[in-house]
């Protein structure tokens, strides 16, 4: 029986991934005259920029001053994302979930400040029963810690939850946590290759909650829906 939905934040609730890619792309062009591709950027989506920085250093000897990068990009991100709307279908999805008396949680690799700001601004904070961030765990995605902590806080079994993720790192984390995961792509992560998911959609508008509940309850094979 489905008792909880655990949602990622960035790229699922608000479309921050596109903003970050544009910021990364411009920064690398300006500082290194390097054209960062979406495929390269995808390495750190849902996780930490360190994954990308390490790869560029290894492959091209591009050595990033992480402090400089943060100082030069964070304010730009805050300025460009402060008025982002909800992604299409988010509010209707949240309402449908709560109408079914199913719990909602967020599990994000971000620190707590960012999701709390946007959830409050967009007036959807009250829909969520639990919010788990990088401040609550030792390791972020693709490690399973965030989802394991969400399950613990919700007080349910893993078999009673489903995750909604937009990134490969998020999907890997969901699989490592042994929780069925729906992939909901965006304009950045649609370029990824996903494997071993419960379901894959392009938008939350494509999810019929009653149908998901039925399929979830009927599914005895972890990846029967592909």
Per-residue pLDDT reduced to its tens digit, 117-162: 999 999 999 999 999 999 999 999 999 999 999 999 999 999 999 9
Q: Number of structural domains, the chain?
A: 2
Average of per-residue pLDDT across 29-43: 95
Domain boundary residue, one of 53, 81, 109: 81
CA atoms within 13 A on the CB side of 145: 12
Tell whether 91 and 11 lie within a shared domain.
yes
Q: Judge if 62 and 94 occupy the same domain.
A: no
Indicate if 181 and 92 belong to the same structural domain: yes
Is the pLDDT confidence value at 17 over 70?
A: yes
Q: In what order do the strands lie in the sheet with 130-132?
A: 130-132, 103-107, 4-7, 161-165, 180-184, 199-201
Considering the domain architecture, whether residues 10 and 69 belong to the same structural domain is answered as no
Averaging pLDDT over each range in 80-84, 93-97, 221-225, which range is the top one? Answer: 93-97
Q: How far apart, in whole angstroms, are the C-alpha atoms of residue 122 and residue 78?
A: 15
Domain hosting 125: range is 4-15+85-218
Whether residues 21 and 69 fall in one domain: yes
């Amino acid at each position: 029986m489905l008792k909880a939905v655990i949602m990622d934040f960035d790229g699922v609730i608000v479309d921050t991934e596109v903003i970050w890619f544009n910021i990364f792309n411009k920064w690398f062009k300006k500082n290194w005259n390097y054209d960062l591709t979406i495929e390269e950027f995808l390495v750190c989506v849902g996780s930490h920029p360190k994954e990308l920085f390490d790869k560029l250093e290894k492959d091209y000897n591009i050595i990033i001053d992480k402090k400089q990068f943060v100082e030069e990009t964070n304010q730009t991100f805050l300025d460009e994302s402060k008025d982002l709307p909800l992604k299409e279908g988010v509010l209707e999805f949240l309402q449908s979930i709560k109408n079914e008396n199913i719990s909602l949680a967020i599990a994000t690799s971000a620190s707590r400040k960012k999701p709390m700001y946007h959830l409050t601004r967009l007036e959807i904070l009250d829909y969520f029963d639990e919010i788990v961030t990088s401040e609550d765990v030792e390791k972020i995605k693709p490690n399973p810690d965030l989802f394991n902590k969400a399950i613990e806080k919700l007080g349910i079994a893993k078999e009673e939850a489903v995750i909604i993720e937009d990134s490969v790192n998020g999907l890997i984390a969901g699989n490592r946590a042994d929780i069925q995961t729906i992939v909901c792509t965006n304009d950045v992560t649609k370029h990824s290759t996903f494997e071993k998911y419960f379901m894959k959609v392009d938008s939350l508008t494509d999810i019929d909650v009653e149908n998901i509940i039925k399929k979830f309850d009927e599914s005895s094979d972890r990846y029967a829906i592909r």
